[in-house]
Structures are given as structure tokens and as C-alpha cells.
Amino acid sequence: MNAKDILNYVGDIIFPRQCPACAEILDQPARQFFCSSCSGRINFITDNFCPICGIPFFSSPAGSHICGDCLGNRPYFAQARAVAGFETVIMEAIHKFKYSRSLSAGNALGCLMADFSFPDFVFSEYSLLIPVPLHIKRLRERGFNQSLLLAREIGKKHELPVNFSLLKRIKFTLTQTGLNKIEREKNIKGAFAVKDRKKVAGRNIILIDDVYTTGATINECSRVLLKAGAQKVAVLTLSRVTQ
């Protein structure tokens, strides 16, 4: 056992790891992120999904196929994948992370995202991770950017650099909560800008966010990055709304 393992072992005794959803003490190996009860209620997205936006078809017998939204209005990003549906357990953990400022929940969620085998996704095709940015006003209110913390865990796992300053949120927008897709697209239009086009040009980039709702925010980010010269943009989120 090396020094790092010893420190982790002692830390787990003094500050035992808890399930980020229900706070039950975890007694399994370090890579267990939720208790068995909560883990069993997570709808992981591993098959039967749209190959472009990644929306799952949990109850459809048709298997994977392009969804109607992507057929009618293809997004700017090449593909989007999420770990799980934005439901119950994942929703509770994300709320603790973002609004109760539980960094331990954030760490568990970041590790879960980094360890997840996103279907039909090849990390070696990409050279840069960019978290969806918060406006400076929102960042000061919250104290951290949850997407950046997730991106750092993924970057460590897959040995990809994370740049949180290339994409800036230049317009303070109303919260997207409660807005429909058209309202979200209008609300977010013009909210982002690329700081240094030279660092984007020709790159294949992965955008990181916590929740994919309608896709308006990540699609606008993708549009701005492609306009600045990015070759391809993909999206990875911790969860996504499935209806």
C-alpha cells in the first residue's frame, strides 16, 4: 500500500464516504459511487438511443434510431451522450451538488461520469475538454462551476486537457428553468463567445455539462465553437431529460 492509498484509507475512516443521493455510508470499494439501493434506481443510458443527440428510447422496441428532432433540425454538435436519465437518484445528487454546494457529491458524480463507458464514443478522437461556462454573476452566487468539476475528473481519467477560459458566457441570461425549447433557444442566443480562436481552430472538442434538457445551451455553445474554427464538437453530460 503506497502513501496515497494509506491517506485514502485513513480519510475513509475519519470521513466515511456517503451515497450522494441518500447519504447512506458506503462500505464498498472506492469506485462505488452510490449505495446499492440508489444505484438500482438509476436509468443508465447504454443502448436504444438517438445516435446524434443521445435521447434514450427506454420503452421502445425499435432500438437505436435518429429521433424526430434530429431528423427535422440537426444540431451543431456531432453527437451527445449522457450517463443517465435526469430522474430521482441522479436528480437528487445533482441538486445537492449544485444548490447545497456538496463537493463530495460533485466528486462522486464526476468520478461516475469519468468511469462511464459512453456508448459509441471514442475519446481518442478529441483533444480538448471545455466545460459549459457560467456567467461571472452566476459563478459568484454559486461559488463554483459544476461543469468544470465534472470536466476535470473526465480529463484526469482520459488524459485530456481542460480549458475553462476559452469559452466565455458574455451575456447574463434568465434561468432556463420553466422555458420551452423555443424560449430557451431565444434566451441563450448570443450568450457565448470564444476568447482565443487560434486555440480552437482545427480542434475536436468535447463540451461538458451536468444536464441536457432541450439541448439549447449546448447547441449554442457548439455553434459558437464551430464558427470559431473547431473541426468537430461532441457533448457529454451527466444526465439528460428523457421526455
3-class secondary structure, 233: strand
Q: Could you tell me whether strands 167-169 and 192-194 are parallel, antiparallel, or unpaired per DSSP bridges?
A: antiparallel
Q: Distance between CA 220 and CA 132 in Å, rounded? A: 10
List the chain pLDDT tens, one digit each, 243 residues: 454 444 344 344 446 788 999 989 887 656 788 999 999 999 999 999 999 999 999 877 778 999 999 999 999 999 999 999 999 999 999 999 988 888 889 999 999 999 999 999 999 999 999 999 998 888 888 889 999 999 999 999 999 999 999 999 998 876 776 677 788 888 888 899 999 999 999 999 999 999 999 999 999 999 999 999 999 999 999 999 987
The whole-number pLDDT of residue 28 equals 66
Q: Distance between CA 50 and CA 153 in Å, rounded? A: 26
Q: Could you tell me whether strands 79-85 and 232-240 are parallel, antiparallel, or unpaired per DSSP bridges?
A: parallel
Question: Is CATH 3.40.50 correct for 39-240?
Answer: yes
Per-domain residue ranges of the chain: 39-240
The whole-number pLDDT of residue 66 equals 95
Query: Which of 7, 32, 9 has the alpha carbon at shortest distance from 19?
Result: 32
Angle between helices 216-227 and 181-188 (to 10 degrees): 40
